[in-house]
Amino acid sequence: MAASPVISVVCPFFNEAAAIPHFFERIVGVLQQEDASFEIVCVNDGSTDGTLSALQQAQQLYDGLVVVDLSRNFGKEAALTAGLDFARGDAVIPIDADLQDPPELIPEMIAKWREGYEVVLARRVDRSADTLAKRLTASIFYKVHNRISDIALPENVGDFRLMDRLVVEAIKRLPERRRFMKGLFAWVGFKTVCIDYARAERIAGQSKFNGWRLWNFAIEGITAFSIAPLKFWTYVGGLIAFGSVLYALFILVRTLVYGVVLPGYASLLVAILFLGGVQLVGIGLLGEYVGRVYFEAKQRPIYVVRKVHE
């Protein structure tokens, strides 16, 4: 086996056959300019189009491609985890296959890394390529997440970044199965610097993340790094209990002064419905966390590899 490469680029592919030729042409062009050996770890995340054969074709054209073929679609976070596990470089760079993360940024990242930074983040200063709804919801997500979590996620930073080997080894020691990579990246810390770029349009194909998937992704991120939503219900419960004590006192005094008054079914109904609703929401939220404990307790592997094509 060849000496381990200096730079590992890690890229998850899920039905990206149309983007693959463009992707390799651009990224290999950039990497060849660098004075460092490189590998590109391509994770085929259970694609159902011609992605695998396109990757194998690319392997004929370019040196340094490793194709990790997963047994089915495990999702981007799992695919990225697989890529990090197989990457051997001194620095590792996760990147999307659709060229929304410009490979031209890589030389700048490597320069910062050589200056001594352990993490080089690529921050999207211009997201006009994303839809307004996506930008808005992303911004709300970051605000909420960072308010209630111990770990602040840098805003407008995706998975595109450079990480030193030290950082990758630290991430590999985090055992959780449900992986919110952005959060895990932030959790490990290390000496970090940011560089800015404008997010490009997808070169080909379509985004795999629709509204519902993004919503679940956001819930994943928040529940993985904060228990504030759980604590919240303690306070809601406390407030409602306190309010009912006040109301009880009020009724007591009123009864003493005016005697028994019968009407009141409306307020009863409101109280029952309101409390029922609040309790169900609380239980549902508890369920989110219990579900997560359940998944972690099973200790299933994060991904399954069918074959590694070197």
Q: By CB under 6 A, is residue 75 in contact with ligand UDP? A: yes
Q: By CB under 6 A, is residue 209 in contact with ligand UDP? A: yes
**Which x/- pattern over 22-51 shows residues binding ligand UDP (rule: CB under 6 A)?**
-----------------------x------
**Stretch of 33-41, 53-61, 72-80, 81-89 contacting ligand UDP, by CB under 6 A:** 72-80
**Stretch of 11-19, 26-34, 225-233, 275-283 contacting ligand UDP, by CB under 6 A:** 11-19
Smallest distance from Mg ion to CB 130, Å? 9
Residue among 215, 205, 278, 208 nearest 241 (CA): 278
Considering the complex, state which of residue 79 and residue 170 has its C-beta at the smaller distance from Mg ion. 79
DSSP state of 239: H
Considering the complex, state which of residue 117 and residue 160 has its C-beta at the smaller distance from ligand UDP. 160
Q: Report helix, strand or coil for 252.
A: helix
Q: By CB under 6 A, is residue 96 in contact with ligand UDP? A: yes
Q: By CB under 5 A, is residue 16 in contact with Mg ion? A: no
Q: How many CA atoms lie within 13 A of 35 on its CB side?
A: 2
How far apart, in Å, do the first and last CA atoms of the chain sit? Answer: 10
Q: Please identify which residue in 26, 208, 292, 309 interacts with ligand UDP, judged by CB under 6 A.
A: 208
Q: Spell out the alpha helix ranges (H) of 104-227.
A: 106-115, 132-148, 165-172, 181-188, 211-225
Answer yes or no: are the C-beta atoms of 302 and 78 closer than 8 Å: yes
Answer yes or no: are the C-beta atoms of 161 and 143 closer than 8 Å: no
Considering the complex, state which of residue 56 and residue 73 has its C-beta at the smaller distance from ligand UDP. 73
Answer yes or no: are the C-beta atoms of 120 and 109 closer than 8 Å: yes
What count of residues does the chain have? Answer: 310
Give the CA distances from residue 265 to residues 21, 270, 271, in Å, rounded to whole numbers and listed in that order.
70, 9, 10
Window 168-207: residues binding ligand UDP (CB under 6 A) = 207
Considering the complex, state which of residue 47 and residue 192 has its C-beta at the smaller distance from ligand UDP. 47
Answer yes or no: are the C-beta atoms of 182 and 221 closer than 8 Å: yes
Smallest distance from Mg ion to CB 218, Å? 17
Considering the complex, state which of residue 57 and residue 137 has its C-beta at the smaller distance from ligand UDP. 137
Please give the full DSSP string across 33-71, using - where no structure is assigned.
Answer: HSSS-EEEEEEE-S-SSTHHHHHHHHHHHSSSEEEEEES
- Beta strand 305-309 with 65-70 is antiparallel
Q: By CB under 6 A, is residue 161 in contact with ligand UDP? A: no
Phi then psi for 9, rounded to 5 degrees? -100, 130
**Which x/- pattern over 86-125 shows residues binding Mg ion (rule: CB under 5 A)?**
----------x-x-x-------------------------
Smallest distance from ligand UDP to CB 43, Å? 7
Nearest-Å Rg of the Cα atoms of the chain is 25
Q: Please identify which residue in 7, 8, 10, 16 interacts with ligand UDP, judged by CB under 6 A.
A: 16
Alpha-carbon distance 261 to 280, whole Å?
32
Q: Please identify which residue in 5, 9, 10, 12 interacts with ligand UDP, judged by CB under 6 A.
A: 12
Q: At which residue do the structure tokens 């011609």 appear?
A: 50
Considering the complex, state which of residue 127 and residue 292 has its C-beta at the smaller distance from ligand UDP. 127
Answer yes or no: are the C-beta atoms of 55 and 95 closer than 8 Å: no
105 binds, among ligand UDP, Mg ion, none (CB under 5 to 8 A by kind): none
* Residue ranges binding ligand UDP (CB under 6 A): 12-14, 16, 45, 73, 75-76, 79, 96-98, 100, 207-209
* Residue ranges binding Mg ion (CB under 5 A): 96, 98, 100
